[in-house]
Structure 1
């Protein structure tokens, strides 16, 4: 089955790539989850618009990724969340909340899909968060989760 990826799929490709997959994998997983669309001649023309959108959002090159890495590693990121007794959170911290906290701390706008949380964050404290900026560059920064007043 020939498909066009609309999201990054680990081990398969990035958005806009045209790949050949087994029928069951495409029909039962990639298409229902919205990770891909069926390949047609008309859909192939849409690949260019998908690639342009990805280019605007992605890190431009290795030098730009290293600049962002230096900026992130010097940043003190604090996220306040509702917490109960003993510092246990109501819910958990998501990658989207981490991206917003970085932006509000004066850091760059980050793609939430590239943020890798160490574990599910369900209590206050300090955590080391990792983000894959480029295929060769991974940045780590400290996230301090505090209880909101």
Structure 2
């Protein structure tokens, strides 16, 4: 029996998939728990339309992420830190510091968990930070660490 999954089901398929299952499994498990619906011609057309719409939305999100990544590549951020004797930092510079600087200087709001600073920040200098804009798209910005 062909069914269309309404939600993800482990080891069976993902939402919107049209799959072949045994009639007993469909009638006794999938239908009562509203995990799947029967694959009639009308339901198949609706499922294909929804899948096409989801793919267009995903493509649009990817295009927007590419555009944002291209804009972020041009950005350079300066962060003022306290320096102790011997040129050592008090504390550390983290993704939160970079996110705050981006918000303050350029009004760009990025989640601190999506920012990864390459190399350990030990003192004054220039460092690279990688920002995960989209699961498959990243942008690299330059971070200048300056003394107060």
What residue is the counterpart of 2:99 in the other structure?
A: 99
Q: Tell me which stretches of 4 or more aligned residues in structure 1 moved more than 3 Å.
A: none
- The alignment status of 1:134 with 2:131, answered yes or no, reads no
Structure 1's 140 and 107: CA in aligned 2 closer, same or farther, altered over 3 A?
farther
| Aligned residues: CA RMSD | 2.3
Report matched runs for 1:2-17 at 5 Å: none
Separation in 2, partners of 1:64, 1:111: 17
Paired residue for 2:83? Answer: 83
Output the TM-score relative to the length of structure 1: 0.55
Counting matched residue pairs gives 93
User: In structure 1, what is the Cα distance between the partners aligned to 2:61 and 2:107?
Assistant: 18
Q: Which has the larger radius of gyration?
A: 2
Structure 2 unaligned segments of length 5 or more: list them: 1-7, 11-59
**Using a 3 Å threshold, how does the CA distance of structure 1 residues 90 and 136 change in structure 2: closer, same or farther?**
same
Structure 1 unaligned spans of 5+: 1-16, 20-59
Partner of 1:71: 71
